[in-house]
Amino acid sequence: MNWPIRCLVRKANIEEDEILPATTSKPKALRSKEITWVEGLRGLAALGVLSNHLSMCYANYLFRPCCAPIAGELSPENANQAPHLFQLPIFRLVAAGEAFVALFLVLTGLTTAYKPLKYARADQVEKAYSSVATSSFRKLPRLFFPATVATVLSWAVCNLGGYETSRNGDAWWMIALTPTQSIGPWYQAFVDLWWAIWRPWMPYGVSPYDQPQWALQFFVEAGMITFLAVLGTARLSTGWRIVVLSAWAYWSGHLSAIIRDPFVGYCTLLGMVLAEINFAVSSQRLYNKLASKIIGCLIVILGLIAMSYPRDLPERASWSYGLRELGEVVLPFNDSKYKPWVSLGCLVFILGIILSQPIQKALSIAPMVWLGKISFPLYLLHGTFIRSLFAWILFAGQELSPSARDENVLKYPLPSNIWIAFSVICLMLPLLISCHLWIKYLEPCFDQMTLWMESVMLKQTEPRQHRAWRLGWFARIKAMLQAILLVVRHGGLPARTCPDSYSVDLESENGFLLQETVADACSTSLLYASDINLKDTSPYRDSDNNEETERCLGKP
């Protein structure tokens, strides 16, 4: 850590780890070691979304169950057809993308409310309010800034012709979701980019350049629901809080069935209930008992089966037909039963993990935690990589031929299964490396931008008030602008100052000495603009600091 930031840390009387952004150590989204397993679960959910979109490219038959002749759905020649392995319960989750979106929503409710509920259980209600307000405020910029960068990247690849192979391939997901290059004047491309950035944040909007962003608005909605729920229940006892949250979830499920959203309130509110259950289980150490371990594993399996419920034609398999009939009794939502079953399955699945310490340990190992750290860039970038790098490898050496879907359209045919597997392997390595670089270099910038928004928009006390400006390259840009302003205001550098080097020697109000040799005028102003004064980060703002300003600039 360089000396100006170390100086600021001393003066603010806080720890260095609190002011500097973490980039390689503990997960940023999760500070509590008690639920580190959530990071591993996030990583698995992101891989599930990727697997779902790859399956849509070359294995559409996995999305419908097979193959029991129930209700006359199958023709006689197909009545004895054996189902594919990945059409069976649990295994078919490789093609169940919306199940993992529901899992993200449950985890949002659990993790966002975890710290506030911990304060509420300790009767520290004001801290609970402050914690949930801060986390809910940060939710939008922490999603918006990375999503914008991902959209710009996809837009650039598209308009440079990187998606042409994907658009001409005979893979359903690529055909349906690969955009065309902008048509018209040169500025039309930037108009398209502008609307593509904002469209995912409009009601039920979808970005043409990055379709997976359709769910981001629901993640923000989940954060706001958590904020309102904590606000309304923080003063309740734990038992009554669970009762109220469950009642709200039941009402929200009916509302979601009407407005056709992915059961956001239902998943989020019951995710908060799971946080309360996790507190109870951890305090009683129930997961150390053998019976709890066995029951936890059985509950996980039941949850995975429920998550496997198909979107279409559940009557085509006996297991999904049975779930549909059971859903008529236990899921009183006016819906197709697909979203209710998937949402309930995610809740049951996480409940089983809470009761099973071995599964928690498996999800908390270093590779799984790393996968959780890169889960969001993996979610954002995989669509761009599938439509560019994966398509280039998948259709390499193929010639245009009549499409299997429409003989009047020429498309690149799908290759053999061996070449598809090779293409997937070639996709994963650069994708994971790119996600790791994203976390290492871009994520700290997004954090600084979020903190800057927080310092501008929220009423905060020191040391957070100017914290964002003090970090990394963002602080240096501001300091250099302040340096130029100082030099202009004072008519340039003083004539009596040595042009090569001189020292600035200031004593702070805490009594320790700041001394630094400065090589040039810009560095001198940077030294001063980096908050030498303890009381104000802009010492030249008022007349009380004019004397110290002149001392820093070398004036008598």
Q: What is the pTM of this model?
A: 0.76
Tell me how far CA of residue 414 lies from CA of 51, 417, 418, 434, in angstroms: 17, 9, 11, 26
Q: Which residue in the block uniquely carries the two structure tokens 């959530």?
A: 38
Tens digits of pLDDT across the chain (556 residues): 444 434 433 333 333 333 233 333 333 434 456 788 999 999 999 999 999 999 988 888 888 887 754 444 444 444 556 778 888 899 999 988 889 999 999 999 999 999 999 999 999 999 999 999 888 888 999 999 999 999 999 999 999 999 999 989 988 899 888 999 998 888 999 999 999 999 999 888 889 999 899 999 999 999 999 999 999 999 999 999 999 999 999 999 888 888 888 899 999 999 999 999 999 887 776 556 666 778 889 999 999 999 999 888 888 888 888 888 888 888 877 666 788 899 999 999 999 999 888 899 999 999 999 999 999 999 999 999 999 999 999 999 888 888 877 788 888 898 999 999 999 999 999 999 999 999 999 999 999 888 888 877 766 544 444 454 445 555 666 677 777 777 666 665 544 444 444 343 433 333 333 333 333 333 433 333 333 333 333 433 344 444 444 444 444 4
Whole-angstrom distance, CA of residue 292 vs CA of residue 407: 58
Region of 335 (left: φ > 0; alpha: ψ -120 to 50; beta: rest) is beta
Q: Would you tell me how many other CB atoms lie within 10 Å of the CB of residue 230? A: 27
What is the 3-state secondary structure of 301-347? HHHHHHHCCCCCCHHHCHHHHHHHHHHHHHCCCCCCCHHHHHHHHHH
Number of residues written out for the chain: 556
